[in-house]
Structure 1
């Protein structure tokens, strides 16, 4: 199947390229162009919703980055390339696992909508070579036309289109290595055993390891009965491979323009396998992408376009699954069992039956296939023959996503060697499974109709846009969901000096009750470019001094799956009939209470900004302030009652506020033959819960209202108990007697008991600060660029098995940071960890400020050095350009809490460091 699809893609690639090259060579200049991309315009234009807009006339809050910046970060998702590059956009990557390394993105505190060429699509794993630009749409004016989809802002991805002129062929080959970031550091067998004995002694129990056991662990004299296995070394590679190859062709003339691209990416994971099988049991990701954007002028007024996109992702992992391997890796002590017994069988015992070596090499394998296909067809008619400046456009788009899982896993036995040929066996050994299942599938049919009018009359400029669309989405077996939009935008400016923009969307969704499905979302903005005033004419160095502001209401259709209707689930067992003998039968039951009055969430957004350009745009500066109030947010009431047997449904009751300041500055300079630039952005963001229906909380410090969104709560730690006097004066913990070395907490209400009434906000409540600094220089053929990215006032709470010792009834792991624990015979006052215990400790192993750390960090997110060969060399071999480069991602990190990677925290698959080299050849 895969080979058939690939062969079809290559065939289409060749056919399209040949046909368009022929058209270019035979039909040049036979018709006057009718597309925006060919219209000469000295003013740089920015892609916004449904059109391009001159930056000098921009009132709405929007910013973009181009293709060159994206290519500096060779990742599977373009989201990873956005970190630190755009003000207001916060990213957090919690995993480096292939196909699961997608970072979360937050635009002014909200998860933005993804638009590909103006069409709502959630896909982000696409080839950066095919992207022309990515624009962030921030304020209400920028997203009002999205109607019920506009509250969270948007990421607008615009793909490349062909440009008239000589045919251009570009080939890029890149390969590199990935290295894991900081991970957990388990104790060796000797330290584990002696600390385990110490923990038992702290609990008043007898030790389980004798001195002979400790000696054997220390000197390695008995590797089977007293193993010391560094599972991290055995299961994790020092480095893994990454490679990417891209071939694209673009060009055209006044009749036809085209951009065609093929891309292949291969990313290995860091799980280590032996290769003893004829099949791959490691983690690996392969991605194949085809893109074709074609635009044809049928006559002087009529233009058509066809955009095709196809993607195949093939994922491989051990039969035990990567998640289970990582879980076992984190929870298995180094002395749990020998990796292999003397006869080559898998080590194990009654407690540890999932031998990690066996999970990696003898559990079979699993594969995941994801196939996506998109097709967008549009036709645009200029109506200058009717009304100059008038045009109309129709668009039809279809997309299909199909995800399939293949399971070829198997189970294995483990053996506990007891000397000679005496083994105890555990587990079962079964034949390899061979099953296929559909993980998910979805279809989208999107239609759009647009009418536009643009007119320049002296100093007056008017731009009007009217649009209607329908979006039909079907996920798996769900009922289709239809969304409708009727939107408009009017932009007027006088001499580029006075700017006015009005925008609004009347949109609706079938997920709401009939009669309450549609809402109106208006926005307005004004701008004043003071630099164009006559009294500023003498200031030649001032290119722009623009004040702009906007205000509007946006919506978010977050109503769930037809939550206004009451529905019932079947297949529920447990209904009993009769007494003796009794029988049971399946039935249907109400599972979620309906809310007939449920409606869309809303936001009122205010934005104010100043744009400055100096010295012929060599120095530019933008400062923005925003204040967004989100209301009618869907939440469950805190005062639920179980008297009805069910929880209350979601209701539109929540209110939150996000406000902040965004600063962006860019400088481009020239010193002799050296061109250099620097661009920085900084965001200060604050959030507050204005209202939520809380449970009754008797003390102010317990209340969530008024605090930052996502605020953590727990006990306030006050050091460790050091003396008996401190223990005697401490508040009691129900069901527990504190001991020396335990964490000491504040009794906030002074009742002498530690319970939920003493839980308070933990971590900093200061506004989140994040940003980035990009700098670079070019000298003759050499170029260098660097991106610094960082965050301040971020909370990092680490609890659970990654932080606490000997969990899971004493079978869990212990780590290097436990060496610096409180000990009656060792460190006391300067100990960084409380006394050790075995199993769960209800005093120490609870959420508290003791486990809250600073998540502040600064990292070299990207560094690239390149060299372009001189043109005089290339003319001899008929090449347009050849550029060689080396780059690095996540090269170095400085963090306030540096035990783990500051983004992935204690996650078992940390963010990856990548170093690569590549070459780009253009014909």
Structure 2
């Protein structure tokens, strides 16, 4: 029989020691996925940390060092594919408004309910998009009930824990890094040039039975380009955009301390110039597009006495943004995409701006409408005191924490209008100039601002102690928070009490119970609080005697969890338990038929309104083989109920009131996540690793109280949340005989070459009752990533691919030729004609707003899946003998590229993530260095 000491080192603890040693030996690859697949280290959990081997919840973590590979002004955009279970969806790429959407394990609700995940920075709710990777220690997502139950009615959508760096005992280490780069648009909409536009517009007119607009002489002028004022050919993107925009980042950190005080201090400056031309250099009253942010952080840990410690976290940002033509560029890009290339010249011969009654001049908007600037400030601060209570019993401690977070943005908009002119020739050949718009002086407006603040108060009683082979930890907590938004709204408040008890036997068997009791101000008195329990268990099979000496299986752990969580972001009006009688009724009295204001009965109150409730079940496996091959698998099934929906199915419309929102909806959501990775021997001359991850989640609406439908395919019930409904395109009409033999499409009179739709209900009529579930939802069901790296001597290469599948995207209005006197896309060249009937990829052209061809249908849908090279970095670390001469601890130079290419099904160079009109997706190239003193 082995002694207990020998057994614990060579068996359980020995395997953990080996795994930790491997992690240290491959520390050059701190950017690796870092998903917990072995027993080494600790893991962030709800309101604390646990040894990784003891964690029984579904948790994924990425190190902050790995996020440095993506050079972006928004931290959220560095997380694509990094955390299995986290879906990141691009928003705008414009600086300052480029926060992506994020969901954990798909979507479990519908309607107006919010799918927003709960984000905590250093334990307290806050924004995180403005943080930089250099101040991040780890980002962890909590996915199952065991991990989220302590967050009560706020945990159902998942929780993200952002932990900033803290000081480490030792001599002062000073880090400094600089990164320079530039952004280029991935792709811009390709519209018809003037000759093709005029030619195809003539064809569209003829299809509509109208005379051509452009003569052969005009067409030749467009083709040759020899008459730029009367026959212009303008690419408006070339007029308002630069080829590339520079971006830079400077970072300075201080880390160190002693037994009494440990500190981490970080300063960061980031500057990014927008893609718009440098308008401020050309016009004094305009501005250059520019974004700059300054970050600071000071994290200090103090041993006040041997038993009393303090943790101080203080961070903040100052953010300045400037733009011509608007606070954001959305309307400018929409204008540039809409104007026909032959509509008017950029400038007239006298230097004035071209324009017409329908469209302004995009370049004029950039140069002559003033400047739009904003200044934003955030501050995150917290103080936590912890007192050891060993005098009562060993392992007992008590702590309390207070946090305050604020965000404020002010705007300074200086606006004006300008004149623009159209130029033409009359029947006599004379030049005619018509003015549009009016020139005004610069006017200032600084009245707008946005602000929010929140505070939180927390208290904990913790117990952690080992008795031989028994390990017991417990936590009792209290939390309250208040969130205030400017504008006179009442604050949003939560009060939460919770407990967690974990027991482990011999590092083999683990059991845990979590529970919280949370209340919110948004629900009626007496019904504001709810109970959220969860249980979980784990079995470390590799520590059993029959596997302990196995040379193949280094670590093997099974875990399972089940519990209840909630979502209080239910949507609908606030305080819907109160019956409201709004002003607005206007009856008419007297012989004069005069209107008299009065009250009306509002939507009936729901006195039983409550939060959404979700049961979560998760089964997981973690394994390490031959100390180098890691594997993790999680299978989950979530069932959510009490989703708000109006009871159209059970209450008839003739009751005469707007139906109330009731907690009757249900959604099921299930899926799996897998991670597999391999890292070669730590003593090999060439170090390399590869890791892949995939996450699949699919939901289904079980019940939503929708109105009775004549055709079953019209029901949302049974479909995924967000399932698009539209007409199913089945080709183009061949000729009039085909039209006569087909069901009648009621939207407008159709012709040969128009889109033909399927008659879903067999009534021989195509109308909205034929709207069918087409394509897939906007949210991908499959997310995956592939991360690989290699190091030889001082050189290292890091590559990260990310992709999605199982989603659809739709081509928007910018792809509809000639609508509202607008532009036409390049794809219109594939239009249907009698000669191209068998190969056409676009419907026949029409100069009118075609009510048949441009309906929402499967014809305009595309596969939204893609595979992208998200980041590629090549670096070189100087040898120790070289840097020692200049008294450096380390020095590294690198080349980096982000969003380098995409494999997808979208026509042209457009990015499948940003198909709507707006700021284009960006490709970034950069070079930099990092040193440590």
- TM-score normalised by structure 1 residue count: 0.92
Q: Distance in 2 between matches of 1:863 and 1:590?
A: 61
Partner of 1:379: 385
- The CA deviation at 1:778 is 1.2
Distance change (3 Å), C-alpha of 1:567 and 1:373: farther
**Corresponding residue to 1:351 among 348, 358, 367:** 358
Q: Secondary structure at the residue paired with 1:315? A: strand
How do 1:264-343 and structure 2 match up within 5 A?
264-274=269-279, 275-278=281-284, 281-321=287-327, 322-343=329-350
Question: Which stretch of structure 1 is more off in the superposition, 587-596 or 261-270?
Answer: 587-596
SS at match of 1:217: helix
Change (3 A) 1:76 1:782: same
Once the two structures are superposed, what CA deviation does each residue of 1:517-569 show, in whole Å capped at 9, x if it has no partner? 00000000011111111122331332211111100010111245222223466
Counterpart position of 1:4: none
Corresponding position of 1:665: 676
How much is the aligned-residue C-alpha RMSD, in angstroms? Answer: 2.0
Deviations 1:150-209 (A, max 9, x none): 101111100000010011111111110111112210111111111111111111122222
Structure 2 residue 435 is matched with structure 1 residue 429: no
* More divergent stretch after superposition (152-161 vs 370-379): 370-379
Which residue number corresponds to residue 32 of structure 1? none
Which SS does the other structure have where 2:447 is aligned? strand
Residue 460 in 1 paired to residue 470 in 2? yes
Aligned with 1:73: secondary structure?
coil
Q: In the alignment, is the contact (CA less than 8 A) between 1:66 and 1:132 conserved in 2?
A: yes
Task: Please name the residue that 1:724 is paired with.
Answer: 736
Q: Which residue of 2 aligns with 1:838?
A: 847
CA contact under 8 A between 1:493 and 1:500: conserved in structure 2? Answer: yes
Shift of the alpha carbon at 1:278?
Answer: 2.7
Counterpart-to-counterpart distance in 2, 1:148 and 1:647: 28
Equivalences for 1:213-612 in 2 at 5 Å?
213-274=218-279, 275-278=281-284, 281-321=287-327, 322-352=329-359, 354-418=360-424, 423-476=433-486, 477-560=488-571, 561-567=574-580, 579-580=591-592, 582=594, 593-612=604-623
Pick aligned residue for 1:775 from 788, 802, 807: 788
Partner of 2:745: 733
Query: How far apart are the structure 1 equivalents of 2:223 and 2:657?
Result: 57
CA deviation vs aligned residue, 1:47-78 (integer Å, no higher than 9, x gap): 11111111111110001010210111121222
* Separation of aligned partners in 1, 2:485 and 2:599: 24
Deviation at 1:898, TM superposition (A): 4.0
1:109 counterpart = 2:106: yes
Give the Å deviation of 1:583. Answer: 7.0
2: CA distance between counterparts of 1:836 and 1:645?
46
C-alpha deviation, 1:694, in angstroms: 1.4
* Kept in 2: contact 1:863–1:889 (CA 8 A): yes
Question: Which residue of structure 2 aligns with residue 71 of structure 1?
Answer: 68
**Which residue is equivalent to 2:798?**
785
Distance in 1 between residues matched to 2:410 and 2:780, nearest whole Å: 43
Instruction: Describe the SS at the equivalent of 2:455.
Output: strand
Cα offset for 1:705? 0.9
Deviation, 1:770, is: 1.6
8 Å CA contact 1:319, 1:407 repeated in 2: no
Structure 1: 5+ residue stretches without partners? 1-40
1:183–1:906 CA contact under 8 A, matched in 2: no
5 Å-filtered alignment, 1:896-907, equals: 896-899=905-908, 900-907=910-917
Aligned-pair CA distance for 1:896? 2.2
Distance in 1 between residues matched to 2:157 and 2:929, nearest whole Å: 38
1:618-673 alpha-carbon deviations (Å, 9 max, x no partner): 11101110000111112234458766776333321111111111110121113731
Judged with a 3 Å threshold, the aligned counterparts in structure 2 of structure 1 residues 726 and 843 are, in CA distance, closer, same or farther, namely same
SS of match in other structure, 2:734: coil
Residue 575 (structure 1) shift: 6.9
Separation (CA, whole Å) in 2 of partners of 1:427 and 1:767: 45
C-alpha displacement of 1:254: 0.7
Q: Secondary structure at the match of 2:899?
A: strand
Q: Does the residue aligned with 2:358 lie in a helix, a strand or coil?
A: coil
TM-fit CA distance, 1:42: 9.2
1:95 deviation in Å?
2.3
1:88 aligns with 2:94: no
User: In the alignment, which residue of structure 1 is the partner of 2:688?
Assistant: 676
Partner of 1:866: 875
The whole-number CA distance in structure 1 between the counterparts of 2:525 and 2:585 is 34
Q: What is the CA–CA distance in structure 2 between the aligned matches of 1:186 and 1:646, rounded to whole Å?
A: 49
Name the residue aligned to 1:803.
815
**2:356 alignment partner, SS class:** coil
Contact 1:94/1:905 (8 A) holds in 2? no
Assess if the C-alpha contact under 8 Å between 1:235 and 1:273 holds in 2. Answer: no
Q: Which residue of 2 aligns with 1:192?
A: 197
Q: Given that residues 273 and 360 in structure 1 are in contact (C-alpha distance below 8 angstroms), is that contact kept between their aligned partners in structure 2?
A: no
**CA separation of 1:772/1:735 partners in 2, compared to 1, >3 Å: closer, same or farther?**
closer
Q: The residue matched to 2:154 in structure 1 has which SS? A: coil
Q: 1:856 to 1:42 in 2, by over 3 A?
A: closer
Shift of 1:372: 1.2
Judged with a 3 Å threshold, the aligned counterparts in structure 2 of structure 1 residues 840 and 290 are, in CA distance, closer, same or farther, namely same
644 and 839 in structure 1: CA distance in 2 versus 1, 3 angstrom threshold: farther
Q: Deviations over 1:457-478 (max 9, x none)?
A: 0000011011101001111121
Q: Name the structure 2 match of 1:16.
A: none
Q: Deviations over 1:470-524 (max 9, x none)?
A: 0011111211122000011111111110010110110000110100000000000
In 2, Cα distance between equivalents of 1:687 and 1:84 = 20
For 1:137, the equivalent position in structure 2 comes to 142
Q: 2:885 aligns with which of 852, 876, 881?
A: 876
CA contact (8 A) 1:319 1:410 kept: no
Q: Which deviates the most, 880-889 or 106-115?
A: 106-115
Question: Could you tell which deviates more after superposition, 785-794 or 416-425?
Answer: 416-425
Tell me if structure 2 keeps the 8 A contact 1:291–1:308: yes
SS at match of 1:237: coil
- Structure 2 unaligned blocks of 5 or more: 1-37, 108-115
Superposed CA offset, 1:191-234 (max 9, x none): 11111111111111222222222122111222112111111111
Aligned CA distance change for structure 1 residues 196 and 874 (closer, same or farther; 3 Å):
same
SS at match of 1:229: coil
Shift of 1:592: 5.1
Deviations 1:283-306 (A, max 9, x none): 321111111111111110000122
State yes or no: 1:650 paired with 2:650.
Answer: no
- Equivalences for residues 621-636 of structure 1 within 5 A: 621-636=631-646
> Conserved in 2, the CA contact under 8 Å of 1:186 and 1:816?
yes
Separation of aligned partners in 2, 1:380 and 1:653 = 44
SS of corresponding position for 1:100:
coil
**How far does residue 320 in structure 1 lie from its aligned partner after superposition?**
4.2
Shift in Å, 1:337: 0.9
TM-score (ref. length: structure 2): 0.91
Partner of 1:848: 857
* Counterpart-to-counterpart distance in 1, 2:436 and 2:773: 47
CA–CA separation in structure 2 for the residues paired with 1:577 and 1:170? 78
